[in-house]
Chain A
Amino acid sequence: MSQSSEVVVRVENLKKWFPLRRGLSDIIFRRPRRYVKAVDGVSFEIRKGEIFALAGESGCGKTTTGRTILRLIEPTGGKVEFLGRDVTKLDKKEMKEFLRRKAQIIFQDPYESLNPRKTVEDIVGEPLEVHGLVDTKAEKREVVSKYLEEVGLTPPEDFIFRFPHELSGGQRQRVAIARALVLEPEFIVADEPVSMLDMSIRASILNLMLDLRDKRGLSYLFITHDLATAKYVADRLAIMYLGKIVEIGPAVEVIDNPLHPYTQALISAVPVPDPRHKIGDIPIKGEVPSPIDIPPGCRFHPRCVKAFEPCDKEVPELREIEPNHFVACHLY
């Protein structure tokens, strides 16, 4: 792959706790405030030109992590370094001139993330205007056309006057990617960018994202619930469970040789497009507990089929079990 060793994003012990509303009786009896610990101490690095996938089931905190890195949500604790600067300490002016220009996001649903009353030209051109990068309409059109071409909406003249409802799902997601690209960012958070799209066009959007990485040296945080997609696009992969990373390593390695019992369960549950493969029993117990009452010790232990002595008491740390392959589990 084409990534170098230069670190673009460094996340250290990132936390996002959402406070719960306290009822009258909580106040009278002075019960402590309770929190939904959506992200509870997450650390990783993304290097230049790298696609880093964050995968897990709904509610595991993967989307909150992505948004907190971009400060679309303010973190409760921890540090996010982007291009060497601490994002959590930026003031308003630096936010606009630095973070909002150099980092962008692509959302899951291209039916909701594009303003239905604006044309493609206005949607893609808006960031240019916000940042004062174009002076005239002609200039804006020229830049917008260039990026539409880059995302495969050709010829651009056919698209600039269209409204989102006149585009297919795949075309809309291309518009969203073009909008993310116009400011020439270094880093893009892609939050489930293909899960709302039809099977037959998912590959073309994934390939576009891969090609843009190769061409521009872009770095991505790719958030997905689909491990097959993660294996296809990602260089490295982290598996999240209840707000913590349980396993992290080279994507192919994590999927072909999962070490954490949760990752093993998750991968055995993924359907395979081959009739010779049949789903067996999934090695897992019970259901995901509430992120308000996180189990003590290893938070996966009540569901783990391999849990033993220390699991309900000691929190396992992420340790390097194989080269570049880290697992938070007492088994190793």
Chain B
Amino acid sequence: MPVLDVDDLTMYYEIPFRGFVRAVDGISFSLEKGESLGIVGESGCGKSSLAITLMRLLPKNARIIKGRVILDGINIYELPEDRLRKEIRWKRISMVFQGAMNALHPIIKVGDQIVEAIMLHEDVSKEEAWKRAGDLLELVGIDRSRLDNYPFEFSGGMRQRAMIAMALALNPDVLLADEPTTALDVIVQAQILKLIKDLQRKFGISLILISHDVSVIAEMSDKVAVMYAGKFQEFGSAFDVFLNPLHPYTKGLLSGVPSVKGKPRRLKSIPGAPPNLLNPPKGCRFAPRCPFAKEKCFEEEPDLVEIEDKHYVRCHFAEELREVPWDVSE
């Protein structure tokens, strides 16, 4: 049985008198134990909205239209808020979010902050919690003597490590990391990504990694979902999605990414800008930017179809375009 099963999850933001922003629109996936899923997309595609919907950390104007999030067999949207807080968040699913390193309380010792998270969920003595906090810091490569430090005595990378330690404090089944390294320098980023990967393997955690950075997703993920305008446009193994992309959006995205490896080739971009999700286009949401779009694309919304074994694509013409590379004149 999968650890996490998400089915047709749909969350809109209500804007009074104007309608709904369709940020998360019919997302389905499942995650096995120890597996890592990378969700990649541009700003405004709904990936962070998906993250807070999975955690049920919604703002007031968010509306769950339909769908389910089943974590370890429990539908998290059927639990009362207090049980959710006590039994699910942190314990079964925890989150490291964007700029998490600034989420530590500035005038409370790092150790006390980790202890607080442990003691809120488990009935342990302060001494034992403190010892566990020290073990956690060592796990992420920080000396346990630093428990007595305040966050300002840590570098950015160390604060991010401390946040990861906190997220793992209660042995969650799922770790949700939303842009965990975006504000960090490249060397620290690589060290943090490697740490997440090692801990994930060590404890068999299922990882959901959200990033705008195609390369980070490629390095870290078993499965990859390409998100655009609130929907998964392509979903499959990292090898399928990166080495044999079938959706025109994925092809376009990958054509624009430079690499330090190999000979430089002329990069290509995607014309236009993502649609306003208050009024998404009829038909395929990518059609207005797609050089291959035909009449049908503007009329009829394609489904996410399994084109090859476990490789899903939301495009009417994925088969016909299989061998066609992304090529746009600028």
Q: Could you tell me which A residues sit within 8 Å of B by CB distance?
A: 57-58, 152, 168, 170, 198-204, 206-208, 225-229, 231-232, 252, 255, 265-282, 284, 287
Contact = CB atoms under 8 A, between A and B. Distances in A.
A279 B330 contact: no
21 contacts: A57-B186, A58-B185, A170-B273, A199-B253, A201-B270, A202-B269, A203-B269, A228-B259, A231-B260, A266-B186, A268-B190, A271-B215, A273-B214, A273-B218, A274-B259, A274-B261, A275-B242, A275-B243, A279-B193, A279-B194, A282-B194
Contacts of A231: 258-260, 264
Contact of B187 (A201, A273, A282): A282
Name which of B193, B219, B266 has the most chain A CB atoms within 10 A of its CB: B219
Contacts of B330: 152, 204, 207-208
Contacts of A226: 186, 258
Name which of A58, A268, A273 has the most chain B CB atoms within 10 A of its CB: A273
Interface string B242-270: 11000000001111111111011011111
Interface residues of B, number: 46
Contacts of A229: 258
A277 B42 CA distance: 23
B190 A279 contact: yes
A207 B215 contact: no
Nearest to A202: B256
The 3 closest A-B pairs by CB, nearest first: A269-B190, A203-B267, A204-B269
Contacts of B43: 198
A275 B261 contact: no
Contact of B255 (A203, A206, A271, A276): A203
Given A200-B256, A207-B330, A231-B258, A272 B215 contact: yes
A282 B197 CA distance: 14
A255 B264 CA distance: 11
A265 to B, nearest CB: 6
Name which of A170, A267, A268, A271 has the most chain B CB atoms within 10 A of its CB: A271
Given A200-B252, A200-B270, A275-B239, 4 more contacts: A58-B185, A199-B253, A200-B42, A204-B256
Contacts of B254: 273
A207 B255 CA distance: 13
B260 A227 contact: yes
B330 to A, nearest CB: 6
B214 A199 contact: yes
A265 B191 CA distance: 11
Contact of B212 (A198, A267, A275): A198
Contacts of A268: 190
A282 B191 contact: yes
A154 to B, nearest CB: 12
Contacts of B256: 199-204
